[in-house]
Amino acid sequence: MAAFLVLALFAGLISACSGPAVVVRVAHSRGETRVPLGPTRIVALGRQWIDTMSALGVAPIGYLDDFSTIAGEPAPWPVKVPDSAAVIDPGGDLAAQISALKPDLILASSYASSEADFDAMSRIAPTLPNLTTVGADSWSAQLDILGKIVDKQQQAQDLIAGFKERVADIAAKYPHLEGETFLKVSVDSPTTLSVLASGADSPTRLLGMTRPKQFEETLEKTYSVSLPFSRLKELNSDVLFIMGTADLQTAFREAEGYDNLLAVKRDTILFLDPVMSLAVNRPSILSLPYVLTQTDALFARADAFAAPLATGSTDSPTTEPER
């Protein structure tokens, strides 16, 4: 009995001295989730989180890669996912498939956008839905948060700094892009379109480019601004990125006023294929280098047109419409 009491007292002292478990508190679109530090069984839903995990050298036990389904082809940038990781069927019962894997963290993004989905997943393990209510998650925020959770903060910060240095090199190469305007546009139907928000860590904004004033304030608060084709002339920015199916992009080209757009006259308009659309709209630390490669020629043309304007020269390569 005496020996038992000594052992019990010793165990109690260890318990008292161990202190509370360390947790990372993550604010997101549905409130806040407390994630115990150092999870080892992580499920990743969506390519953004899969890329983020891969960049940090963290292997998921299960994943749902939606890229190929949406784009119709695999992503052109490589990702490291172990063969042992379970592939989650998006058409099946997500909660049941995830629960069977016994995870200790679920990175869900838009797959837990509804209260019901979020609650169902949260009953299985700590769950992170979309981090923001305005558009897709920030690639740097995902890196920062996951770096803290898996105790790889320095690696995460190095990755963020490395990409920003690469953008700084482009800014030095094309110095006249700063202050130029851009818009990201989705053609939604043969008669309507949406101007989409871009994160503060998007390549265009890191290059010092801005959105036209009439859209700036609204796009800080909401993901998109809907416009009919009859207001096409409002898209008169220096650079335009256009998304949509091939048929809808054709309808946009044929719309009245298209030929008078500044970006059309300058050849600084870029029609994005499904792969580029996803890379731009759901950015990750792995997709963004691909985006920079694909947009280099566009930025070169934009810089060439901006240079005479910046120096006050009248030798502009084209006649500019009024802004």
Task: Give the whole-angstrom CA distance, residue 239 versus residue 280.
Answer: 15
Q: Residue 48's pLDDT is what?
A: 96
Flag whether pLDDT at 322 surpasses 70. no
Pick the CATH number of 22-151 from 3.20.20.105, 3.40.50.1980, 3.40.50.720, 2.60.34.10: 3.40.50.1980
User: Is residue 200 scored above 60 in pLDDT?
Assistant: yes
Residue written as token pair 């042992």: 84
CA distances, 32 to each of 28, 40, 43, 89, 128 (Å)? 6, 21, 19, 27, 9
Structure confidence at residue 296 (pLDDT): 97
Q: What is the residue type of 322?
A: E
pLDDT tens digits along 238-289: 999 999 999 999 999 999 999 999 999 999 999 999 999 999 999 999 999 9
Same fold, 22-151 and 175-311: yes
| Mean pLDDT along residues 147-151 | 97
Least confident of 78-87, 215-224, 234-243, 294-303: 215-224
pLDDT tens per residue across span 31-84: 999 999 999 999 999 999 999 999 999 999 999 999 988 998 999 999 999 999
Interacting residues of 51 by C-beta distance below 8 A, sequence separation 6+: 77, 79, 284, 285, 286, 287
For 186, the token pair is: 């989705």
pLDDT higher than threshold 60 for residue 156: yes
d(CA 206, CA 184): 15
Q: Which two tokens stand for residue 163?
A: 């990409």
Q: Where are the domains of the chain?
A: 22-151, 175-311
- Mean pLDDT, residues 312-316 taken together: 49
Residue 175 in this model has a pLDDT that exceeds 90? yes
Top pLDDT among 295 and 4 is at 295
Q: Is the pLDDT of residue 323 over 80?
A: no
Comparing C-alpha atoms, which of 190, 201, 200, 246 is closest to residue 220? 200
d(CA 235, CA 241): 11
pLDDT higher for 201 or 15? 201
- What's the topology of domain 175-311? Rossmann fold (3.40.50)
